[in-house]
Amino acid sequence: GGRAYLTTADGELVIAAPKPDGSMAWEKQIPLKGKVKGTTFPCGVAVSSDEKHAYVCLSRDNTLACVDL
């Protein structure tokens, strides 16, 4: 736990993890590809309770991406 899951305007899911001093550090960047050419405009994230999957709304595609974490 303690991770932060965010989306970017560049079409990525980014994950930040806590460091021992309490600050956060970028841990992973995952590109989100869609059917439509260009950025997918990800706009919402839900993470499974076991933190193995993230579900991301890809606004421009009108789809939901399931991402293995």
Cα 38 to the center of its chain, rounded Å: 17
What are the φ/ψ torsions at residue 59 (nearest 5 degrees)? -55, -45
End-to-end CA distance of the chain: 13
What CA–CA distances, in Å, run from 47 to 18, 34, 38, 60, 67?
Answer: 17, 19, 25, 21, 9
Low-confidence residues of the chain: pLDDT under 50: none
Q: Select from 42, 44, 13, 40 the least CA-distant residue to 29.
A: 13
> Residue 1: its pLDDT value, please?
65
| DSSP category for residue 16 | E
> Residue 38: its pLDDT value, please?
78
